[in-house]
Structure 1
Amino acid sequence: MRARAAAPVDEMGCHVIPEYNRQNNSVASQNLQVLISLLLSSQTKDQHTFAAVQNIRHHFHPLEITPQRILSLDDALLDNLIHGVGFHAKKTVYMKKIAAQLAPGGPLDEKIPTTLEELVKTFAGIGPKMGILYLQNAQPYADAGNSGASSELSEQGTADIATSDEYGLAVDTHVLRLSQQFRLVFPIPRKPTITPEIARMQLEQIVPKEQWKETNPMLVGFGQTICGSRSKKCDECLLSGTGLCAADKRKGNRLKRPAKELDDEELDSHTLVKSEVKLDEELGSQIQVKTEGKSFSQPRIKLKRDSISSSLAQEPNLAVDIEDLAIARRRRLRPRQQTNTSK
């Protein structure tokens, strides 16, 4: 399915560096561009992130991006260059801090950390997902001699990055949403909300390590082209009709609880002591009939109008009117409560 059409992540993802910059920029500059792209990608579409990084590249063209040049930019100018990304003002501050740390003579002295823990701990605005993506897409400094002619960043003494897929499985909003939708991850005890870290730990147990790197762009592209959060093309999805997707929109494919209909004889066989109508916010109305000695409850019970009317007529203090119940079931709202004025 992913091979049918190119997704924005394939052409404008954080790992994508234009051919000109790849040929004419040093490996250290390329890795810095990947790090900047990941910083700007938070809460931002790939198109806007790529455009913001392109603005920085064009501003320094034909020179490469270096920490010193980023520090030389005025805050207002840098903010204007990345204005299209979300939280651009805060990311301007983060980018200046990262540039100050990587500048010659700074705390890192041009050495980008090579472990996930150090990346997250050292750089403001870089989380686990961004750190994993950086380690998976950064170029080894040992290949710097083949990167291009001009190299203004110092390569000596810079920690090498080994190309490996075993840094982790990056979980962003698309991966988190689709993994829950496909029932691949589940809440853990005492934590009903599935966080990206919980999803990452569970996905890493079922996805082979050699597929960790390709899983993120595959699911991100799938979410961008076929199964978006608001628009879903279920007719183009191979999972449609299989019961594996909780968001399948094709008629008859989603599992539904069968409604139980009680006829007159079954309803009259019980001696009604008290009738209570409750509305379930998710499933609609739920009618619970309590009998002598036992009670039974069935979700979305359908009762014949005549039967329930005759039965409810015997309960003068019933809190819910049958007409309000019918309206509430259609609107999926709570029934209107009647105030009992009789003393």
Structure 2
Amino acid sequence: MQTRAGVPMGNDDLSSGLSSPPSDLDNYSDEEREVKEEEGEKDGKNNSIVSRFFRSSSPGKSSGAQKAPGKAIAPVKKEPTLGLGDIVPTLIREKVKKRENIVEKKPRVKKVKDGERVKVEAPENWEEVYEKLREMRKMVEAPVDTMGCERLGDKAATPKLRRFHTLISLMLSSQTKDTVNAVAMKKLQEQLPGGLCLESILGVEPKRLDELIRIVGFHNRKTEYIKKAAVILRDKHGGDIPDTFEGLTALPGVGPKMAHLCLSAAWDRTEGIGVDVHVHRICNLWGWVKTTTPEGTREALQAWLPRDRWREINFLLVGFGQTICLPRGRRCGECTLSNGLCRAAYMEPKKVKVKKEKRVISEGSDEDFDDDNYAAPERSMRPKRRRVKVEVKEEEEVGDEDMLVADIEDVVPNLAKFRYKR
């Protein structure tokens, strides 16, 4: 078989399906041809020029590249292409790293360098606000004054038992009003076999305990917390409550606020400020702190408030929030701080409703009118259809339909006015 160029093709060439280029060995003599073939063997090439011409290039090298004598061509390294399985984990790791680097923004407070120490400058007029707060708390009695967690224990009990009562009342007080918490504590003291003590809590069934504290918020979860905490007190603390912040927070259902309040009330040790919703809300209203969580408020307050007032401030602000500075409907008119000391104070004027009289102007009138003080003329309303039940005695015989209609019209006057065209 011959190609267009007239060069014969062998069976090997036919299998490739490609036409070979014209050979140039025919122009050489036999001796020169042998020399050319020997040079090709030295270079590691096949004897056939066609096979040399169509030899596949090695991986990593270009097919058209020529090998320079005495120099090796370095293979080109291709960068691995990232697939979807490699990109997604990388993005997730970067997002998690950003979240770990996010730290809660601390309140903007002025810092004054005092020698080597750095102390936080207290808000302006805070002492005046504090003294007025004390005066207002003396004038109004709040629920926390008589039903606070430290006042719900049995005064005739031993110090150890009173500490246990304080812990239980604090665990019940979460998301619960003081008045409701006092009722639940009274039920436990009166209806538990042997009174409210560690042994009675360990022996009572969870279902019965849940029934006694059902009126408090999240009673199901608190039942579980109290039963687990009782086991920990028996096994690890000899039946008494822990006397350290770390030990109290290790109990289920006890957070930083409860731990600081329990240390103050049960062990008479103040190591931090107990910040609840009232303390957190009012301190942000006054501008004493600028935080988003109660724990952030505690750290910000402890940075500048004198330590001798850490225990008292919770009692003052909780009662103030229960009586005057309510979460909804603050009574700023009764607060002595509304004269410029409280930046959130407001005095709502009494709203007086003024009714405007609407003038009715007929269609043929020449009187001018305003759009705001104009009432459209009344339109005749379509009368409502009334249902009438007509009883016809079987004994009476009606001979004509017209007589029956006349009788109905006599029973229902003005029946013709309520007939409608359909």
TM-score w.r.t. the length of structure 2 is 0.49
Separation of aligned partners in 2, 1:33 and 1:168: 21
Question: Does the CA-based 8 Å contact 2:152-2:185 persist in structure 1?
Answer: no
Counterpart in the other structure of 1:124: 252
1:16 and 2:151 correspond: yes
Counterpart in the other structure of 2:263: 135
Q: What's the offset of the Cα at 1:96? A: 0.5
Q: In structure 2, do the counterparts of structure 1 residues 53 and 251 end up closer, same or farther at CA, with 3 Å as the change threshold? A: closer
Separation of aligned partners in 1, 2:170 and 2:149: 6
Separation of aligned partners in 2, 1:102 and 1:178: 35
Question: Does the CA-based 8 Å contact 2:188-2:195 persist in structure 1?
Answer: no
Q: Secondary structure at the match of 1:22?
A: coil
Q: What's the offset of the Cα at 1:251? A: 5.1
Separation of aligned partners in 2, 1:58 and 1:111: 21
Counterpart in the other structure of 1:311: none
Q: What's the offset of the Cα at 1:244? A: 2.5
Separation of aligned partners in 2, 1:128 and 1:222: 22
Separation of aligned partners in 1, 2:247 and 2:229: 13
Counterpart AA for 2:288: L
Question: Does the CA-based 8 Å contact 1:101-1:109 persist in structure 2?
Answer: no
Structure 1 portions without partners, runs of 5+: 139-160, 188-193, 253-343
Q: What's the offset of the Cα at 1:111? A: 3.4
After TM superposition, list the pairs within 5 Å mapping 1:138-287 onto structure 2.
138=266, 161=267, 163-165=268-270, 167-187=271-291, 194-242=292-340, 244-246=342-344, 248-250=345-347
Separation of aligned partners in 1, 2:328 and 2:219: 25
Q: Secondary structure at the match of 1:206?
A: coil
Counterpart in the other structure of 1:108: 237
Q: What's the offset of the Cα at 1:82? A: 0.6
Structure 2 portions without partners, runs of 5+: 1-135, 350-422
Deviation digits for residues 50-98 of structure 1 (CA, Å, limit 9, x no counterpart): 111111011147x442211111111111111111110000000001011
Q: What's the offset of the Cα at 1:168? A: 0.6
Q: What's the offset of the Cα at 1:114? A: 1.1
Separation of aligned partners in 2, 1:174 and 1:226: 11
Counterpart AA for 2:148: G
Separation of aligned partners in 2, 1:179 and 1:3: 20
Identity of aligned residues (%): 39
Counterpart in the other structure of 1:4: 139
Separation of aligned partners in 2, 1:71 and 1:201: 36
Counterpart in the other structure of 1:29: 161
Q: What's the offset of the Cα at 1:112? A: 1.9
The structure with the largest alpha-carbon Rg is: 2
Counterpart in the other structure of 2:400: none
Aligned residues: 214
Question: Does the CA-based 8 Å contact 2:332-2:347 persist in structure 1?
Answer: yes
Question: Does the CA-based 8 Å contact 1:17-1:30 persist in structure 2?
Answer: no
Deviation digits for residues 172-223 of structure 1 (CA, Å, limit 9, x no counterpart): 0000000000001014xxxxxx211110011112221111111001000000
Counterpart AA for 2:327: S
Deviates more, 1:171-180 or 1:227-236: 227-236
Counterpart in the other structure of 2:27: none
Counterpart in the other structure of 1:327: none
Separation of aligned partners in 1, 2:304 and 2:189: 40
Q: What's the offset of the Cα at 1:109? A: 2.3
Q: Secondary structure at the match of 2:138?
A: coil
Q: Name which structure has the greater RCO, CA cutoff 8 Å, separation 6+.
A: 1
* Cα RMSD, aligned residues only: 1.6
Q: Secondary structure at the match of 1:171?
A: coil
Question: Does the CA-based 8 Å contact 1:101-1:108 persist in structure 2?
Answer: yes
Counterpart AA for 1:98: A
Deviation digits for residues 217-254 of structure 1 (CA, Å, limit 9, x no counterpart): 100000000010002111110111305232x12159xx
Q: Secondary structure at the match of 1:84?
A: coil
Q: Secondary structure at the match of 2:236?
A: coil
Q: Secondary structure at the match of 1:11?
A: helix
TM-score w.r.t. the length of structure 1 is 0.60
Counterpart AA for 1:40: L
Counterpart in the other structure of 1:39: 171
Q: What's the offset of the Cα at 1:99? A: 1.2
Q: What's the offset of the Cα at 1:129? A: 0.3
Q: Which runs of 4+ in 1 moved over 6 A?
A: none
1:57 and 2:189 correspond: yes
